[in-house]
Amino acid sequence: MTLTNIISAIGNNSSIYPLIVRDCGIEAPSKILIARNENKKESKELANDATREKIIDEYATSAIWLGGIPAVECIADKFISKKGYNPNVNIKLFKEEQNKNASNIFQGIEYNINKFKNIQEKDVQEAIADLVKVKNNKPLFEGLLTKKFFAATIIPTVIMGFILPKLNFALTAKLRKNKSEQKSSPQPQVPNLLSNNNINFTGNITSTIANLRTVDKMAISDGGLTVGRVSTSRNKDEGYVNAFRMIGSMILNFVTPAYIAKGLDKTSNKLFKINVNLDPKILSNKDFISAIKENKFELPKSNSAKDLFEFIDSKPTSLFSQMAQEMKKVSYLESGYRDPRKYVDINDLANFRTEVVKFIETAKISKNIEKFAQKAKWIKCANILANVGISSFLLAGVLPKLQYEFNKLITGSYADPGLRKQ
């Protein structure tokens, strides 16, 4: 993987890669160090306990949080496959056909079956068979997807939010020889949603949850983690501090980075008279730059669904179609045909076309298209790294400091409330 690809990956706020960099590489060690230093203001014993608890909490939670959802989803997909269904069939295709205006329908379960059924390529016929099976067993398939969603979010949440804190606290209690006996708090009851064989929702809700990105499910599990951490707190003050920390972390992990990215790109475009809205991988594509120079880059006629679908289906080998696939806007089978099981977010594809057009127009105005693209790529890479740096500083430096100031405000001490002797 090239440096450009690595930077591109960590700059994608829709993926888990920025979270991995921030959470494991920067945030966790910084939080551990701050926890030790703040508790050391009270005593060395508290500092040692806080350090141990923080190491276990941060790295065990990160491992479950970042790896748990993808792992459970992988297992769930294998289970769905054993049931005879292809988990790659996007349930949103059913929703498309609810449009009463037939002239505006360019994808859907029935539509895609009819459009691709006469293509004799093996992978296309396999895809059509998958669509037909789902079409004929929609309620069962929706139920499987719903259970997959619950399994992927609830299992990691229960482990992180309810089980891990209890084990961590029990270890501290065991290691403290002189710790006074405390009243045992009742184990929180977690509803056993996975044992319910009748979990199901209406089609629209199933369509929504089935198409949540991994990062969206991580945000949901983070919400559950907040509930778990607050409810398993050893005392009221620790609950307040945990709520402050977890809510702040959710905002800085899932909301702030997108706004920082937009702000940096907008500022760069104005400051350097350039266009950095495209991904670094696109900006470093030599074929793309050559096509602009030679005025040979083919584009869909407009952003209309009709023109976009017509282009990506009739010209799958075009540079635009291949770039769209690289950016996960569209998916093609090995035979070269568009995968009829996959849903095409037409608004996302239209926005991609708009940004490509803007870049081409701006690049043509410059005297040297290659230098323009190279400059745009490195500024974009710098923006991505700056975003990671700013987000990490807020998460790893500002938030923990504010947490201990909040702790001091409500308890009169910097020591972690759960570690103070009662």
Question: Tell me, what's the pLDDT at 242?
Answer: 92
> For the chain, what's the residue count?
422
Residue 204 has pLDDT above 70, yes or no: no
DSSP bridge pairs for 338: 332
- Asked which of 55-59, 91-95, 210-214, 388-392 is least confident by mean pLDDT, the reply is 210-214
What are the structural domain ranges in the chain?
Answer: 17-101+129-255
Residue 53 has pLDDT above 80, yes or no: yes
For the stretch 333-373, pLDDT in tens is 999 999 999 999 999 999 999 999 999 999 999 989 999 99
Torsion (CA) 270, 274, 277, 282 in degrees, nearest 10: -170
Question: Tell me, what's the pLDDT at 40?
Answer: 92
Residue 192: partners with Cβ closer than 8 Å, 6 or more residues away: none
In 107-190, which ranges are continuous DSSP H helix?
A: 109-116, 122-136, 138-158, 164-175
Please give the distance of CA 414 from its chain centroid, rounded to a whole number.
34
Residues 381-395 have a mean pLDDT of 94
Residues of the chain with pLDDT > 70, as a percent, come to 90
**What is the average pLDDT score of the chain?**
88
Residue 109 has pLDDT above 90, yes or no: yes
For the stretch 285-338, pLDDT in tens is 999 999 999 999 999 999 999 999 999 999 999 999 999 999 999 999 999 999
Torsion (CA) 357, 359, 360, 365 in degrees, nearest 10: 130
Q: Phi and psi of 332, rounded to 5°?
A: -110, 150
DSSP of 70-116, one letter per residue? HHHHHHHHHHHHHTT--TTS-THHHHHTT-S-GGG----HHHHHHHH
Please indicate, yes or no, whether the overall pTM of this predicted structure exceeds 0.85.
no
**Residue that wins the pLDDT comparison between 209 and 106:** 106
Closest CA to 309 of 338, 351, 278: 338
Where residue 189 falls (left for φ over 0; alpha for ψ -120 to 50; beta otherwise) is: beta
Confidence band for 196, pLDDT divided at 50, 70 and 90: very low
